[in-house]
Amino acid sequence: MSQEGYGELMSWPQANPSLKHSNSGYQGITQEECDEDAEGVQSKENWAYVKVNMDGVVVGRKIRILDHGGYSSLAIQLEDMFGRHSATGLRLFQPGSEFCLFYKDREENWRTVGDVPWKEFVESVKRLRIAQRK
């Protein structure tokens, strides 16, 4: 590889050479503490945190489902998190909205949010997905 046009290249010293191949002091984490593949974090009978993804948005988020007392509270938080990705906002559960909300239950089935009573929803939700209506 030619270094022409780069001038003089500098070699940066390593900050602490002894750390390069050392795991000293590293305790590690257990499966219970961190599981990137987990759909939700279970708290007693309910899923405390669930992942939320929106079609067309690369980065998903997590919400604490137990912080909400109903669908309208959930819709407000999702609007705050993802509403800026649409010129008109999400307006979930409103007539004429261009978005709909789905959830994955414990049996791995995708269902429409709002079709079951809130308590039943909280007990079975593992993941949320905001999809654009076609």
Angle at 65 between CA 52 and CA 45, to 5 degrees: 120
| Strands 46-54 and 99-104, sheet pairing | unpaired
In the block, tokens 């984490």 appear at: 29
* DSSP 3-state of 66: helix
Fold (CATH) for 38-132: Ubiquitin-like (UB roll) (3.10.20)
Q: Choose between 129 and 40: higher pLDDT.
A: 129
**pLDDT per position as a tens digit, 51-80:** 999 999 999 999 999 999 999 999 999 999
DSSP code at position 86? S
Report the mean per-residue pLDDT for the chain: 76
**pLDDT per position as a tens digit, 103-125:** 999 999 999 999 999 999 999 99
